[in-house]
Structure 1
């Protein structure tokens, strides 16, 4: 289990690395993470076909900057890696300000922020700078240096499998491809790391747990393409971990069906923990890598449990998405929530009654029948009665909790007592 201090230490180690969908920044990121969990890291070569996509060329930045007419260096990549449009092709030359302007990207609505821009699949180059800095540019000749390389290389992916009693799996997937963004990049990485660390320390996991670190979109597509049959056969639910660094309410984007096991586990958990506010969002074809897992031909039960999602906070995809706005307390709390949801999934079993012909004589079974006043059954006894009538070998505990309106943890407790008394048997 990682502490707040360890999470912050990892954040600081990862912050300045130049991550993209390929490259040494990603490799170094995964190497640092492997100090905390035993990652299986591998490379997927440029040109590898993955469904309708191909793994792109690898990208490397040697240096990138602009020299203004007064000889001052601007947009220096070595000072902030957001200054260079990610995946810029090489360029060196002298341009007038009017010639340079179309290559400069700003955010007038956030005049002090450097925007984050990419050009993965369209060969071009450009620089990002604050609107305040842009407004100070003077007429004249600018020297531009974009010393980058695009070459046949590979894309880095890592995963980590915690084997449980069952070979059925729960997935947590996050991306490692954004440079120097706190909420939109490192929050998901840190929550995934903390969750993996917590579950790896448990010796009684029923399900197996798979953790994936890959570049967004192309990485998810590649991972699904190369593991599709296994995922289809084994995955019972999963979460995309992204935008989990705010201390605001939780937001859940459901799987495509909206009624998968992971969706129902989220509903049950937050209904029980009413102090944690949850905003429920139905699946839509925009967002992060749940789009790939929920695509028509794949259709795996994967949602995304976030705090303040992409596009909903003003600093999104800018230099203002930094350590000043991330909450390490929220990261740890969110990881704990992931773990608790997964524990609830493990408790959700299908039972069958061993005494289906009328109610059993409950006074024969210790701990099942309580009523100080004969007019009113205790909550536990109410749960027992519901289980007697609905443990048909098909209905799981989530559905019985939903149908009865009784607390899911009460239903779980009653089912365990009945199972130990021999009144219920589990159905695999």
Structure 2
């Protein structure tokens, strides 16, 4: 494994390695990307064969490309895939043909709003071909015969995704998802891939309460494949984040889960608002990235999305202007900090029960309160009073922190001290111990005998006694 990614410069350098690769929803570009990610974290690679039925979708043929160009009447390359991979419409079928410019124009895509940029276009599920170029370049083309060459393949193969599972103390899972299907677009999404990779390496080196599942997959069809293959374990997913667009200079945007009131929603809002008051919170909508599939009504997983700018929300979106100059090292580093902090709060956030709820317990005799009265409680003592008062099994530590206006870390420290003094017990632990107390030591459920069964047993016993007599 390579060294960990932590500084902005390291994250930017990693994104720079990913940037030139021509990725799509299938093919060698995705595998090359996952191989680079695998230098940092031990990914398990999954392949889903072309033609596989995935809910209402089907895994398409695998697409790979070696070269593509348009030659003008003088034989010059006026569109060159080797110069920028956005020049080709993704999933273009192989072509070798000569056309008049008038015939070719319907296959050429430009951005009239930004004539100096190459737009990004795809045609995944309909056989097609085309090129993207700068509008001001097209304006200089003259009439004549143009030669089109596309050296690509569409063949039976597979869709590829990578997965890292980091077991924790609990089987309850946190899923972290990022898309790996876009070609040379830096913010969308080499930034998300870099942050997710760094987050996986960081999680691997620390104790974990939850089990973490990091998924690097093509958008839409990739997440659908993952959902199909993991449908029997989705009940374990208690929290989740979709990561992308995390390198531009805009403030963070958190998009809530479809449910809108999950713990990850509350924690993400708390963290990013604390780190940057300019951060934005948006309600769920069925447009975006893989949260659309994870939060579809048949799954409705507790998954939100963290970005800086949103999809379609910045001028450079899906164009050649989304390059490495748009992605800032400082923005990447701070995005990693935000993701780490969200998971730190998630790991520490618990619900407790006050074991002495009738009145306030006497903290002084336990060494938890000042010995001189007549003055307002210090910050730590105040935090303990809040935790004791709110620990009814319903309020989490984050709930207490927000209601009290006391920092989350201070509330956590207070809860730890109170638990050590025997005044609190974690709700999950209490329920687990109660469940264990009602189970026989063998782990088998006790046999429940009906009254009639007991009577029949007594009669049989009496009958046998009579026979012996």
Query: One fold, TM greater than 0.5?
Result: yes
Shift of 1:10: 2.4
Does residue 234 (structure 1) correspond to residue 212 (structure 2)? The answer is: no
Partner of 2:255: 253
In the TM superposition, what are the counterparts of 1:378-389 in structure 2 within 5 Å? 378-389=378-389
1:27-46 to 2 correspondences below 5 Å: 27-46=31-50
Larger displacement relative to structure 2 (379-388 or 237-246)? 379-388
Q: How does 1:173-212 map to 2 (within 5 A)?
A: 173-202=177-206, 204-212=207-215
SS in 1 for 2:40: coil
When normalised by structure 2's length, the TM-score is 0.87
SS in 2 for 1:344: helix
State the shift of 1:379 in Å: 3.0
Would you say 1:406 and 2:406 are equivalent positions? yes
**Residue 420 (structure 1) aligns with:** 420
Which of the residues 104, 116, 119 maps onto 1:100?
104
Q: CA deviation at 1:3?
A: 3.9
> Contact conserved, 1:371 with 1:377, CA < 8 A, in 2?
no
Shift of 1:277: 3.0
Moved more, 98-107 or 411-420: 411-420
Contact 1:240–1:305 (CA under 8 A) maintained in structure 2: yes
The answer on whether the counterparts of 1:65 and 1:74 sit within 8 Å (CA) in structure 2 is: yes
Return structure 1 stretches of 4+ with deviation > 4 angstroms.
370-373
Counting only pairs closer than 5 Å after superposition, residues 346-385 of structure 1 correspond to structure 2 as: 346-367=347-368, 369-370=369-370, 374-385=374-385
CA distance in 2, matches of 1:360, 1:84: 71
Give me the whole-angstrom Cα distance separating, in 1, the residues matched to 2:5 and 2:202: 7
- Deviations 1:337-387, CA, capped at 9 Å, x for gaps: 1111111111111111111222111211223x2497725333333322222
Deviations 1:23-65 (A, max 9, x none): 0111111111111100001211001111111111001113211
Corresponding position: 1:221 with 2:198: no
Structure 2 match to 1:130? 134
Aligned to 2:321: 320
CA displacement, residues 175-206 of structure 1 (integer Å, 9 cap, x when unaligned): 1111111001100000001111111121x221
How far the C-alpha of 1:403 sits from its partner, in A, is 3.4
- More off after superposition, 72-81 vs 217-226: 72-81
- For the pair 1:335 / 2:346, whether they are aligned, the reply is no
Q: Which has the larger radius of gyration?
A: 2
Instruction: Tell me if the contact between 2:350 and 2:426 (Cα under 8 Å) persists in the aligned partners.
Output: yes
2:116 corresponds to: 112
Equivalent residues of 2:252, 2:272 under 8 A apart? no
Alignment check: 8 A CA contact 2:12 2:328 kept? no
Alpha carbons 1:194, 1:332 under 8 Å: kept: no
User: How many angstroms apart in 1 are the aligned matches of 2:305 and 2:278?
Assistant: 15
Secondary structure of 1:64 counterpart: strand
Cα distance in 2 for residues equivalent to 1:265 and 1:59? 40
Distance in structure 2 (CA, Å) of the matches to 1:258 and 1:73:
51
Cα separation, 1, equivalents of 2:378 and 2:208: 31
| Cα distance, 1:410 vs structure 2 | 2.4
Uncovered stretches (5+) of structure 1, i.e. residues with no partner:
none
CA offset at residue 245 of structure 1?
0.4
Q: Secondary structure of 2:80's match?
A: coil
CA distance in 1, matches of 2:6, 2:409: 28
Residue 160 of structure 1 aligns to a residue whose secondary structure is: strand
Structure 2 gap segments, 5+ residues each: 429-469
Is the Cα–Cα contact under 8 Å of residues 275 and 338 in structure 2 kept in the other structure? no
Q: Quick check: 1:164 aligned with 2:168? A: yes
Residue 226 of structure 1 deviates from its aligned partner by 0.9
- Please give the residue correspondences for 1:278-289 in structure 2 after superposition, counting only pairs within 5 Å: 278-289=279-290
Matched residue count: 424
